[in-house]
Amino acid sequence: MRVHLIYIIMGKFNSAFTFTGSVGNIHGYTRSTAPGVTFVGKNGGPSKEDFLTNPHMQLTRDNASEFSGASIGAKSIYIYTPFQIRKPLAGSYRQLIKYIIPLIHSDSIGLKGKRSILFYTPTGIFNSIVQNKNLSPLFFPNVISTVYQVTPSVTRESIYVQFPSGILPGDINPPAGATHFKIRSTFFCVSNIVYNPATKKYNPVTGSIFASITDSGFFDITVGSGGALIVNPSVGSYPTTDQCGIGIMWVEFYQLVSGNYEYIDHSADIILTAL
């Protein structure tokens, strides 16, 4: 009797030690981040059923649930951030998610995987993104160096961005070609994000409130602001205790050409004002 042994081999040996494709239950693969390197792993992995029901994957399910909530929170900030400063503000949308996840830990009552994302906290400081900017010695490092204050209104519907001594020509380090600058600020409110046990999803408690962008008007770089400067964006309604006010301010540089201001560059900063 003749016996035929059949092996299903779909791998390709690139050399004596590396291959791509599958050989039995082993597969080789490459990554764009590691050119010239072949990685080897076992075929298969947890199924959808495993992810949903396997008790050993509970921690994975909890982390995925909270990541989903953080993603919703990041989107609520991202969509109200002026387009031109989204990237320098937090690096990227994913970076915002990374900053928001620590806020989940402020909920000491909820269970892991169901904890709320509390933007509005007793301290009012979004520690993972910002520091308290009250009377900071620097506005934007390497751009404008002067003392400024950020003060929320008592009812938290607006912020006052103040430069008590103004912005002097010697405080400014403009990009090449710039002749004028302006301070711009926007203010909006985002809602706490809570877990809904009925739908097993995260949802905002309330809607978001958006404020229009306010600016200081143009100033000649060689003259400065000529005195104290205040920029005061407002949402026009009172946020609830489930909403957090976020203020974003930035400086824009322009070149005056034939009576028109040509945009050149900007620098951004962020402040949490829910005190």
Same domain flag for 21 and 154: no
| Locus of tokens 């912020």 | 159
Return the DSSP state at 173.
-
> Has residue 207 been placed in a domain?
yes
Burial degree of 5 (CB within 10 A; 0-12, 13-18, 19+): exposed
pLDDT at 55: 85
Lowest mean pLDDT among 24-33, 152-161, 240-249: 24-33
User: Burial letters for 56-87: b for 16+ Cβ neighbours within 10 Å, e otherwise?
Assistant: eeeeebeeebbebbbbbbbebbeebbeeebbe
Same domain flag for 32 and 99: no
> Has residue 1 been placed in a domain?
no
Same domain flag for 99 and 193: yes
| Locus of tokens 């994913």 | 94
Compute CA distances 154 → 31, 127, 159, 273, whole Å.
53, 21, 10, 11
Same domain flag for 129 and 179: yes
Return the DSSP state at 111.
P
Same domain flag for 31 and 102: no
Q: Residue 216's CB: how many other CB atoms inside 10 A?
A: 20
Same domain flag for 243 and 159: yes
Taking the alpha carbons at both ends of the chain, their separation in whole angstroms is 86
C-alpha 1/C-alpha 254 separation (Å) is: 89
In the structure, what pLDDT confidence band is assigned to residue 181 with cuts at 50, 70 and 90?
A: very high
| Three-state SS at 103 | helix
**Average pLDDT of every residue of the chain:** 75
Give the pTM: 0.67
Same domain flag for 59 and 17: no
Lowest mean pLDDT among 55-69, 172-186, 198-212, 230-244: 230-244
Q: Is residue 71 within a helix (H) or strand (E), and if so which, with residue range? A: helix 58-78
Q: For residue 19, give its domain range.
A: 12-42
